[in-house]
Amino acid sequence: MKRYLLSRLWQSVVTLILATIVVFAGVRALPGDPALALAGEDRDPESLRAIREQYGLDDSLLVQFWQFVSHAARGDLGRSIRTGEPVGSMIAGALPVTIELSILAILVASVIGVGAGVVAAVRRGRPAEWAANALALLGLSVPNFWLGLMAILYLSVALGLFPASGFVPFFSNPIDNLHHLVLPALILGTGLAAVIMRQTRSSMLDALSADYIRTAEAKGLSPRAVIGKHALRNSLIVVVTIVGLQLGALISGAVVTERIFALPGFGKLTVDAVFQRDYPVIQAVVLVTATAYIVINLLVDLLYSVIDPRIRVRGDA
């Protein structure tokens, strides 16, 4: 177990270092003089010199890289060239929205995906399986931002069931907060639910034909108890695995969903930064996303080895 943990940790550190190098190199690859790019509209030589000074652009690449890493490690991600606000605090303000949205989406997707997957496996060859399969196929094929537009158009604007946009912080009004996030979470969760459903179905089908299930049935356990107990344990593994695998899609999806529902989260920050050519923000957003991806995946793998002891054994071998 310890060896597995250490090697997994080491891999994550290597990936993180490589990712940092990529982001650093990406910023150097900006077209033209980075000082010009950072200056935006302001092109007078005095401010260019100030920018060079501030960002140490005349230092050697190695020194610049070290500066970049050590500042980032202290949470100093520079200042927005549009608002002058520290990028670190902009991100700190936006992240909670995105994290809450993502967690809600994972919850929604798990409930729908696991439920439909279990039904599809148990009701083999019946209309219920057919319907669940069709829904999963649709979920994989529908552009979720379009589904979001349709939901706003028909559920929010026409029927007035949900607010079409906007955000209320959880701690100022939890009910209102959830009311604003239900629809975005449902939309963001569609694709994830489809993938979870398919995986749950096939792992349930495997499990239902496994020896231990036959043993459980032979012991006289009711079908409900057998499915309930083993489905629950299995589905936990499925959800954790899929969330790990689909994390990239989830992050991308969150950006679009926030854009459609005008949620003041990480995605809005990202897209706005691109249009305003706010390079320090873009750089920080990319770095934070990569770091978050690597850390969450590490946690998912660790969690995975806690839930499924077979992983631990394999890691030790």
Binding site for another protein (CB under 8 A): 11, 14-16, 18-19, 22-23, 26, 29-31, 137-138, 140-143, 145-147, 149-150, 152-153, 157, 202, 205-206, 247-249, 251-252, 255-256, 259-260, 270-271, 273-275, 277, 279, 282, 285-286, 289-290, 293-294, 297
Angle at which helices 174-208 and 223-260 cross, to 10°:
130
Pick 29 or 317: Cβ nearer another protein: 29
- Read off φ and ψ for residue 57, nearest 5 degrees: -70, -15
In whole angstroms, the minimum distance from the beta carbon of 141 to another protein comes to: 4
Comparing CA positions, the residue from 122, 254, 92 lying closest to residue 189 is 254
Name the token pair of 246: 């689909």
Give the C-alpha separation, 79 to 55, whole Å: 11
The residue with tokens 């239900």 is 182
Task: Find the shortest distance in angstroms from Cβ 197 to another protein.
Answer: 14
CB nearer another protein, residue 207 or residue 226: 207
Least spacing, CB of residue 27 vs another protein, in Å: 9
Q: What is the DSSP string of 178-205?
A: HHHHHHHHHHHHHHHHHHHHHHHHHHHH
**In 10 A of CB 82, how many CB atoms?**
14
Q: Which of 22, 225 has the CB closer to another protein?
A: 22
**Minimum distance, C-beta of residue 173 to another protein, in the bound complex (Å):** 27
| Token representation of residue 141 | 């094929």
As given in the structure block, the two tokens for residue 111 are 């409930």
Q: Nearest-CA neighbor of 138 among 195, 204, 202, 200?
A: 195
| Cα separations in angstroms, 1 against 133, 243, 312 | 38, 23, 6
Closest distance to another protein from the beta carbon of 112 (Å): 19
92 versus 274: smaller Cβ distance to another protein: 274
Structure tokens at 129: 């399986």
Residue 89 or 252 with smaller CB distance to another protein: 252
Q: CA-CA distance, 196 to 188, in Å (whole number)?
A: 14
Looking at the Cβ atoms of 170 and 293, the one nearer to another protein is: 293
**CB of residue 124 to another protein, shortest distance in Å:** 10
Nearest approach, Cβ of 37 to another protein (angstroms)?
Answer: 9
Judge whether 191 and 253 are in contact, CB under 8 Å: yes
Q: Looking at beta carbons only, is 3 or 49 nearer to another protein? A: 3
**In angstroms, what is the minimal distance from the CB of 13 to another protein?**
11
* Residue with Cβ nearer another protein (180 or 268): 268
CB 161 within 8 A of CB 78: no
